[in-house]
Amino acid sequence: MLNQLTAAEIAAKLRAKEVSAREVTQSFLDRIVKEDPHYNAFLTVNSDQALAQADQAQSKIDSGEHHPLCGIPIALKDNLSTRNIKTTCASRILENYVPPFTATSVQKLDDIGAISIGKTNLDEFAMGTTNENSAFGSVHNPWDTERAPGGSSGGSAVAVSAELAPLSLGSDTGGSIRFPAALCGVVGFKPTYGRVSRYGLVAFASSLDQIGPFAKNVEDAALLANAISGHDPLDSTSLKNSQINTSDLKTGSLRGLRLGIPEELFGPEIDPQVREVFELACDNLAREGAEIKRLSLPSINYGVTTYYIIAPAEASSNLARFDGVRFGPRIEKEGHIESFSATRGELFGPEVKLRIMVGTYALSSGYYDAYYHRAQQVRGLMTAEFERAYQDLDFIISPTSPIVAPKLGGITDQMALKALDLCTIPANMGGFPSISIPCGLAYDLPVGFQLTGPVMSDEKILQASYAIEQAFGRDYRRPPIL
């Protein structure tokens, strides 16, 4: 069954001519039609275009000169612009928007012959923790379809976990790749800020957003990270010499690896069974020669509060363009202001409106210094604390999520939902690379193990993650309902 294989394994079959790119693509298209009604992971499926891309990929494969991901289907989060294909951001205000251009990360995949198989569901404009904020319905977790997959990239995580696509792309602003990866039992990687171009990503919070891969294992995630990374002159924050090199991925060792656990990421907020699984994983790594120590990073205690000032402030600015004039539908009223208010009021969802209001308030005259400026100061303090810790450590580790996948609708307290980002937010604050790897089960549901490293340590974090993955094993990876 092709759906059970990793991307690297499918690539090997393509190279050996055991299967064609069209057969691979059709296999996953058929599986989406059959299985996605259980999950609601896809908003758009590009059947005709995907098959046309598959035929073009096959020509490259037959020529013998092709990238390892040539002919591999990849699902795309629906906040990545795709020329001539709807990009909705799971919002009614962009329900029928078709971009005239393609995001750089997607274009890079098109250029190497990867197959863009469809656009995945998400929290509206990537604003949410459980993927219940989509205007087109919640996404369901393959491990238990009554549970949430995590957000905001829930559709992309489920696409890989439910084997609807071998790989997918998501975006991570405060944990939106790593959190759903943990809850769905797959690998999710957020590269260093600036190593993957944000051009064509519909912006949520521009200083925090980063595109990254979901995959069944670290090897596949590394292949996709390599393919989408690199300098882009269309993105002013894109770093020079930033392509992620994965040639040494499998040469790492756990012996002597220095790992630190901040007490602030291992407190009472962590579910006891999640804590137990994480501690067993740490014991496993210690037996393999890793050095693990506890430390304190006090600024983490302010991470969630700081994030929920900075991110809404940037969102308030970025979403001002969606006014019924330049993008999307317009609700006509008597007068421009009335039309503007009606369009945004009726077509934005409640979470988006909440964050716009919070952000606008934080940026308003008289409150800018008290809220936004102070939050940026705390952000700088947190970044400095992590950088000092990296002088003595290779990586900071923690559970990715304090809990396993919650029931859909099970958490109604908005502050409790936002507090679930505790472990993932610091990496976005400092622009650090961070990855979530499955490390076991609690309550028969996946638990994620997170590594966060210094800026530009992407190659090292992937190398270490590959070695850690081998130590953990993979027996529990596949949802039991598949």
CA 415 vs. chain centroid, Å, equals 22
Catalytic site includes residue 434: no
Which member of 20, 77, 138, 197 is catalytic? 77
Rounded CA gap, 25 and 61, in Å? Answer: 14
Which member of 81, 152, 238, 316 is catalytic? 152
Assess whether the previous peptide bond of 152 is cis (omega < 30° from 0).
yes
The residue to which tokens 């009614």 are assigned? 92
User: What are the CA-CA distances from residue 5 to residues 53, 403, 440 (Å)?
Assistant: 21, 28, 20
Which member of 81, 105, 161, 176 is catalytic? 176
Greatest CA separation for the chain:
71
DSSP class of residue 147 equals B
Catalytic site includes residue 77: yes
Assess whether the previous peptide bond of 238 is cis (omega < 30° from 0).
no
Q: How many helices and strands in the chain, by DSSP H and E? A: 15, 11
- HSE-up of residue 348 (Cα within 13 Å, Cβ side): 26
Give me the sheet containing 73-77, strands edge to edge. 42-45, 115-120, 73-77, 167-172, 210-215, 187-190, 434-442, 445-452, 395-399, 258-262, 291-295
Catalytic site includes residue 152: yes
The neighbour count for residue 359, using CB atoms within 10 Å, is 25
Assigned token pair, 452? 């966060």
Assigned token pair, 167? 């790989």
Rounded CA gap, 198 and 152, in Å? Answer: 17
The residue to which tokens 């993932």 are assigned? 424
Assigned token pair, 224? 């996709």
149 touches 398 (CB < 8 A): no
User: What is the set of active-site residues?
Assistant: 77, 152, 176
